Amino acid sequence: MTDPSDRAAFEARLRRIGAERYHDRHPFHALLHSGGCSIDQVRAWVINRYYYQSRIPMKDAAFMSRVEDPALRRAWRSRIEDHDGTEDQPGGIWRWLRLAEGVGLDPDYVASARGVLPATRFAVDAYVRYVRDQPLLAAVASSLTELFAPAIHEQRIAGLLAHYDFANPQTISYFQHRLTEAPRDVAFGLGWVLDHARTAEQQDMAADALTFKTDVLWAQLDALHSAYVAPGRIPPGGWTPGEGLA
Ligand SMILES: O=C(O)c1cc(C(=O)O)c2c(n1)C(=O)C(=O)c1cc(C(=O)O)[nH]c1-2
């Protein structure tokens, strides 16, 4: 049992959860980043991952609706703009749809969220509900998977550019932007969690929230792998190759 006043030990515990459970370890990512995916497997990933992207600003809005402290809301609101954009700047959702076009999909089809796997919906919707309903400490801690995201974004940028014809600075700009957005968000989120998780119970709550979130991410890739890699069993309602092309 570690001493709850030892911030470094608590941070190390959170980082260990990422080392053991983050979705950079998932075989689907190994396949994607090494050039082993067919174009249809990439398309399936783009369609399903869009659903996660599209719900992130909704979960951040759900979070902000519960926050009474203006300073915390102010620190959080750039997350929504990062995804939704502003009057004069496109955001992450727009950039994701440029990736969709780059892989030959109709962006309107992708934005409609038709063809999203049932398990993707369940996992992502569970994340939005979790952030809406759980204590604020758990809600903030659940965003800390972003501690581990820049490394996977770096791998993805390099892997896509090296292996796929569709990859170019425009189609991968989503990930390029996240390289600066995520570290800013997570520096704030981590500091907030370290400041507010003072007791052993609170630290357990934060660790459980981060674990829950790694499950949300892992479950999405399991669903994708099962439907489109092996055994290749697409559930009813899931995208079938040929649908939604530009
Ligand atoms: O590509 C990835 O592996 C990855 C992972 C995560 C994450 O760890 O949740 C996010 C993102 N990307 C991402 O782009 C993003 O905007 C994002 C927001 C959040 C969040 O929980 O608020 N996670 C993530």
Cα dihedral value 99, 105, 107, 110, nearest 10:
-100
ipTM above 0.85, yes or no: yes
Q: How many CB atoms lie within 10 A of CB 225?
A: 19
Which residue, among 104, 114, 101, has the nearest Cα to 40 in the 3D structure? 104
User: How does residue 8 score in pLDDT terms, banded at 50, 70 and 90?
Assistant: very high
Exposure of 2 in the CB half-sphere (CA atoms within 13 A): 14
Pocket of ligand 1 (CB under 6 A): 56, 143, 145-146, 149, 152-153, 178, 217
Residue range 107-137, pLDDT digits in tens: 999 999 999 999 999 999 999 999 999 999 9
Cα dihedral value 175, 181, 186, 191, nearest 10:
160
d(CA 214, CA 208): 10
Mean pLDDT estimate for the chain: 97
Residue range 147-164, pLDDT digits in tens: 999 999 999 999 999 999
Residue 139 confidence (pLDDT) above 70:
yes
Ligand 1 centroid, distance to 146 Cα (angstroms): 6
Domain spans in the chain, listed from the N-terminal domain onward: 7-228
Q: CA distances (Å), 38 to each of 31, 105, 118, 132, 204, in order? A: 10, 14, 22, 37, 41
pLDDT score recorded for residue 2: 75
Residue 93 confidence (pLDDT) above 70:
yes
Q: Which atom of ligand 1 is nearest to the CA of 59?
A: 22
Residue range 27-77, pLDDT digits in tens: 999 999 999 999 999 999 999 999 999 999 999 999 999 999 999 999 999
Residue 38 C-alpha from the chain's centroid: 22
Beta bridge partners of 245: 105
For the domain spanning 7-228, the CATH number is 1.20.910.10
pLDDT score recorded for residue 1: 61
User: Residue 78 carries which DSSP code?
Assistant: H
User: How does residue 175 score in pLDDT terms, banded at 50, 70 and 90?
Assistant: very high
Ligand 1 centroid, distance to 33 Cα (angstroms): 17
pLDDT score recorded for residue 172: 97
Residue 107 C-alpha from the chain's centroid: 19
23, 51, 56, best to mutate for ligand 1 pocket (most atoms within 8 Å of CB): 56
d(CA 138, CA 153): 25
Ligand 1 centroid, distance to 178 Cα (angstroms): 9
